[in-house]
Amino acid sequence: MVTKETVHGDICAVLQISAVRTRASLRASKSPSLPQPPPPAPVPADDDEVSLPAPPDVSLSTPTDVPSLTPVAPPDPYTSTPAPDTLRPVQGSAIFEDFEMQTLWDRAVSLDPIYRASHAAVHRGDRSLPTELDHKVQMPDCSFDERGALCCRNAVWVPDHEPLRTALIQRTHDSYITGHPGRDATLAILARGYFWPQQYLTVRQFVRNCAVCNRSKVTRQQGRGLLRPLPVPDRFHSEIAIDFMTELPAENDGDPRFLMVISDRLLHSVTLEAMTTMDAEACAKVFVNSHWRFHGFPAALTSDRGSNWTGRFWRRLCHLVGIEQRLSTAFHPQTDGATERWNQEVLAVLRAFISYSQTDWPQLLPCVQLALANRDSARTGMSAFYLTHGYHLDPIQQVHSQASPATKDPQARANAFVSRLYEGQEIAKAAMVTAQQIMEGQANRKRRPAEQLRVGDRVWLNLRNVTTPQLKKKLAWTQAKYRVTKVIAPDVYELDVPSSIHNRFFVDILRRDPGDPLPSQVTDDAQPPPMSDGLLPDDEAPMYAVERILRAGSWKGTRGMLVKWAGYKEPSWTYRANLTLTDAFRDFIKKYGEGDDVGEAGTGGYTGSTGKKRKGRAIPLLQSVELQSLEIAGDDADDPGEGG
């Protein structure tokens, strides 16, 4: 029989054994190599007899094997590393609804150790971010949102992954809700929901390389290119400038309608000649009769780029007689600005004396020329008439006393006359230098130095003086991108513009394309280089990839097609024969047929706001590509990086 005392002692022994085994199992969980003790035997439910297990081995309860009962301290939150799960948002949550953006986010988190370290520091509750992260961010500004994403000042902290950050800027800047805002506005809108260190630098780089903004917005910067005056002439009549005033009234068909204005740059005088035509041969005859027979041929001649001055006849004439031609650049009248100023003065005097019919202006030209020559120049303080004759022309005749011959020596009078002429020329040169320095200082106050452009640079050309093929000038592009082909002067460059306009431009209407877009930035006018550039034996012109054909019609007297080139925003015309072997040509014929005036609506001739043909020549924004090789297929146009 088992007594009550024996049962009580056995129960205490069993409880002690259970406690020892429990502590042993805890130690085994920390050291998996330790053997696990067997579970205790079940106690029978019989109330009369209790079968007790064998007493435990004494070695299990020795101080070296039994762990201490002292409570274990919790891990230090400032030194321990959280589990990897704490570096990710809450399971099942997403940052973006768009699958592509979410994929970029997941990849960015996995590739940015700095973001993960910052996330861990905020999760642990550190007092500050690790100093090695070099972030200008303070810990009180950091938190987590309900999705588990790290935030800074309630804006989601974006990991350092260029495709993700560029996609966020692109969708913010190009959205119809924002409408291509400027640099500061884009940054303000983006910063409402997203943050990353030095965010403004990425936004600045993106906006300055946005092709849509560059071609559609008006620049607010000061004009580029400091004033560079022409050199001071050595003598009178050595450097002249010529310009024309056109469409003047005439009474009969054979009467003069044009006025040639010849100005002397040093003497500050003007010669006026009425003409019935402006062709080069007529200009040469009038120039010989009005200028050469009195002063000889000049050393330099400044003019605009009219066809009479750029033609072969006038160029050959200047070459034979040794005249240096100084032609102004396109849309830069400041080159011969003095002649433009003379035109205003001539018209002002003519208005003062012309009749009501206005047809007697040719008879008034001698009076106008003499009146202007008799005016004192603001530059020299003397008139051109006095500098060349040695005396003033008095409009009011006075009675002069007869001086005795003894008081006026003829030799002394001759010496004084020659001295006045010589001094007058030197005074004019010194005054011109002073006037140019003052003018240069005043003009450069509103200008800034222009950077040096090199051959091959992409530049944005201001189109304010160009007629574009778009419907309304008010809504047309303001700038178009071209390539520098030649450096003419420090501030004059040649561009690969269409042949319908002159290709030399002053730097004040040019702006260099930064050419440093973000690697993942999407642009609609990349203008890639040609697929081949004369490398093949039969190639006489570069080959470009065809994206699609817009229209078929007459072009340069033959059959042509309007083509949208891969990677180029603006379409241009080319010969139909260049496209017959392309997939784009076959698709176009299948859709529109073989007609000579078929294609997409709105891509026909250049029209104005009234729907009629626009007067004058409309300049296409891109050069027409004349392909000589027919190996371009429409399939190549799917990848803009493979062609141009």
Model confidence pLDDT, tens digit, residues 12-25: 554 455 544 544 44
Judge whether 340 lies within some domain.
yes
Q: At what angle do helices 312-321 and 280-287 cross, to 10 degrees?
A: 30
Residue 409 falls within a domain, yes or no?
A: no
Taking the CB of residue 497, how many other CB atoms lie within 10 A of it?
Answer: 23
Q: Are 464 and 329 in a shared domain?
A: no
Q: Are residues 281 and 169 in the same domain?
A: no
Residues 264 and 195 in one domain: no
Task: Check residue 22 and give its pLDDT.
Answer: 47
Q: What is the pTM of this model?
A: 0.63
51 within domain boundaries: yes
Q: Does 527 reside within a domain?
A: no
255 has a pLDDT exceeding 50: yes
- What total of structural domains would you count in the chain? 5
Cα–Cα distance between 266 and 300 in angstroms, integer? Answer: 12
Query: What is the rounded end-to-end Cα distance, in angstroms, of the chain?
Result: 106
Q: Does some domain include residue 439? A: no
Per-residue b or e along 70-102, where b marks 16 or more CB atoms closer than 10 Å to that residue's CB: eeeeeeeeeeeeeeeeebebeeeeebeeeeebe
Say if residue 25 is in the same domain as residue 103.
no
Residue 504 within a domain: yes
| CATH code of the domain covering residue 373 | 3.30.420.10
| 223 within some domain | no
Same domain for 14 and 122, yes or no, is no
Residues 88, 198, single domain; the answer is yes
In whole numbers, what is the pLDDT of the chain averaged over residues?
77
Q: What is the pLDDT of residue 540?
A: 56
pLDDT at 31 over 50: no
- The residue from 336, 366, 390 where one domain ends is 390
156 and 247 together in one domain: no
Instruction: Identify the domain boundary among 168, 187, 208.
Output: 208
250 and 363 within one domain: yes
Can you give the pLDDT at residue 409? 72
Q: How far apart are CA 511 and CA 519, in angstroms?
A: 22
Average pLDDT over residues 201-228: 88
For residue 480, tell me if it sits in a domain.
Answer: yes
Confidence of residue 440 (pLDDT cuts 50, 70, 90): confident
Range scoring the smallest mean pLDDT among 38-42, 82-86, 175-179, 387-391: 82-86
Q: Are residues 596 and 489 in the same domain?
A: no
Q: Which residue has the higher pLDDT, 627 or 568?
A: 568
Strands (DSSP E) found in 556-630: 558-565, 572-575, 598-599
Judge whether 591 and 551 are in contact, CB under 8 Å.
no
Has residue 30 got a pLDDT over 50? no
Range with lowest mean pLDDT among 13-27, 214-228, 254-268, 269-283: 13-27
Task: Give the rounded percent of residues in the chain with a pLDDT score beyond 70.
Answer: 72
pLDDT over threshold 60, residue 78: no
- Which pLDDT tens digit goes with each residue over 313-363? 999 999 999 999 988 877 777 777 778 888 899 999 999 999 888 999 999
Tens of pLDDT, residue by residue over 296-305, are 999 999 988 8
Q: Are residues 283 and 369 in the same domain?
A: yes
Give yes or no: residues 244 and 384 share one domain. yes
163 vs 606, higher pLDDT: 163
Q: 267: domain range?
A: 239-390
Count of Cβ atoms closer than 10 Å to residue 411 Cβ: 7
Q: Are residues 380 and 248 in the same domain?
A: yes
pLDDT band at residue 522 using 50, 70 and 90 as cut-offs = confident
Tokens 């002692």 -> residue: 9
Helix (H) or strand (E) holding 24: helix 4-30
pLDDT in tens, 36-72: 444 544 544 444 444 444 444 444 444 444 444 444 4
pLDDT at 137 > cutoff 90:
no
